[in-house]
Amino acid sequence: MFLVFSVCLALGMYFMYSGAEANVYLYRNVLLGGIGLLLLSNHLSYAINGLIFLAPLSISVGMDSMGLKMSFPAEFLTLVLVILLGARLLYYEKFSLKIVKHPLSILLLVDLVWTLLTAITSEIPEVSFKRFFLKLAFIMVYYFATAHWMTKKSNRPLLFILYGLGLLYPIYHTFNFHAQYDFSQQVSFAISQPFFSDHTIYGACLGFVLPFFVLKSVDKKAFNWGMLLITLILFAAIIFSYSRASWIACMLALLFGLAVRLGMRTRLLVLMTVLVSGTLVYNIDTIFFELKSTENIENDDNLANHLGSVTNLNTDASNLERINRWAAAYNMFEERPLTGFGPGTYQFEYAPYQSVEYLTGISTNDGDRGHAHSEFFGALSETGLIGMVIFIVLVFSSLHYGIQVVRHARYKHVLAWGALLGLFTYFIQAMFNGFLDYEKMAILVYGAMAILCVEDLERKKSQLTEE
């Protein structure tokens, strides 16, 4: 059946690039993908395996008649799986209530409820309800269905292995395109298309799976040359993605991993985060002035200069535009602090909330570059203070349970560390970007949370047995 599905995908991709009219190849792909899904619908493992593998290979396709874009085939499969696998899990298989009762699951359900409430009070309800249903589909499939699938231990590493294998062709495609421009930084923003919309989400997904493959390739018990080769490919791809956020996230993940290995507690992590964040917020004007007055480090092909340019607040348009978006998000929060403007509405509402002193040459009022460039500020402006607090609690809860799992004597293995460090890289990037609405990142984030959920349940069960 998996072979049949692969053949359907191959034919669909052929039609995608055959030059046919957009609607024609969309319908052909939907038809072929639907046939493959129906063949797999009675096999949860095959369906989820295929979905994970296809996520990095999916391409955004316009649906002009509905005014929507869909990442095909991953989002299409996800939406159908919500119905087919949701009914299967609820009525035909025993679903572990322990998974539903786990704190991470409860937090995700609370997040869904608040998203629904803020959609009701939204400035643009039709946009917000679309965003709510998208999040509902992601959490149902990528977290709950995946957690159920992961109750079988052998399935758990497949989140990283299949996704990593799925990344190989997009990496080859990107390298091949980038080589035509001598791997110049100037063209790095669009080199990952059509599989990834820009180099930032491309780098973020690469950075998420890298810790697992690095640990797998240095683990004497699990070492194999294939893992080492994939690790080297991922490492090269991250470097030439020129994604500064991804570079920083990977370096901080290394330090975080060392800190956890040396015995850092979650409470200390929270305290350090609060102190650093509080200091930055309190001295934000001084810091901004100092960075504006320092010598500029230009963003170019030199890797050191490119990384150092994160402090350039004079000529680096990317840095300046982020500040503009954050300031607009905060101004929106001040107007609607409790419920925000509604999920997904930032890009349609932020224009009048921009401050003149932060506008840049790439600022726009058209809503075509509209994310808040931060998961935290995005939540603040769209779902209010409560929405941002829920997200922050989810972040620290994920790290807390990840630390608990890797600390437990029987669970100090590569998978748990890969999930913990992968999530950490994303949470760092979430300060500068917002990718949780994209299936390519959502499947990794919610899938890693599912790993920590089932591993934590096993950890607690083993502790009770020992007692």
Q: What is the pLDDT of residue 306?
A: 47
Q: What is the pLDDT of residue 415?
A: 92
Q: What is the pLDDT of residue 369?
A: 60
- Rounded to an integer, what distance in angstroms lies between the CA atom of residue 397 and that of residue 242? 31
Q: Which residue has the tokens 């998203």?
A: 115
Q: Which amino acid is at 145?
A: A
Angle (deg, nearest 10), helices 225-241 and 244-261: 130
- Rounded to an integer, what distance in angstroms lies between the CA atom of residue 107 and that of residue 91? 24
Can you list the alpha helix ranges (DSSP code H) found in 2-157? 2-16, 22-40, 44-54, 74-91, 97-101, 103-120, 125-138, 146-149
Q: What is the pLDDT of residue 356?
A: 78
Tell me 94's DSSP state.
P
Q: What is the pLDDT of residue 185?
A: 84
Can you list the alpha helix ranges (DSSP code H) found in 242-374? 244-261, 266-282, 284-293, 303-308, 317-335, 346-349
Nearest to 419 by CA among 392, 401, 438, 435: 401
Note the pTM of the prediction, 2 decimals: 0.88
What pairs with residue 59 in β-bridges?
Answer: 72
Q: What is the pLDDT of residue 239?
A: 93
What pairs with residue 61 in β-bridges?
Answer: 70
Q: What is the pLDDT of residue 23?
A: 47
- Rounded to an integer, what distance in angstroms lies between the CA atom of residue 371 and that of residue 387? 16
Each of the 467 residues of the chain gets a pLDDT tens digit; together they read 544 555 555 555 545 544 444 444 554 555 555 555 555 555 677 778 888 998 998 888 765 455 567 787 788 788 878 877 666 655 555 667 899 999 999 999 999 999 999 999 999 999 999 999 999 999 999 999 899 889 899 999 999 999 999 999 999 999 999 999 888 888 888 888 889 988 999 999 999 999 999 999 887 776 678 889 999 999 999 999 988 889 999 999 999 998 888 887 777 777 777 676 666 555 555 555 555 555 555 555 555 554 544 554 555 667 788 888 898 999 999 999 999 999 999 999 998 898 877 777 667 766 556 788 899 999 999 999 999 999 999 999 999 999 999 987 555 688 999 999 999 999 999 998 889 999 999 999 999 999 999 999 988 887 766 55
Q: What is the pLDDT of residue 280?
A: 58
Could you tell me the CA-to-CA distances from 139 to 25, 143, 443, 446 in Å, in that order? 29, 5, 9, 7
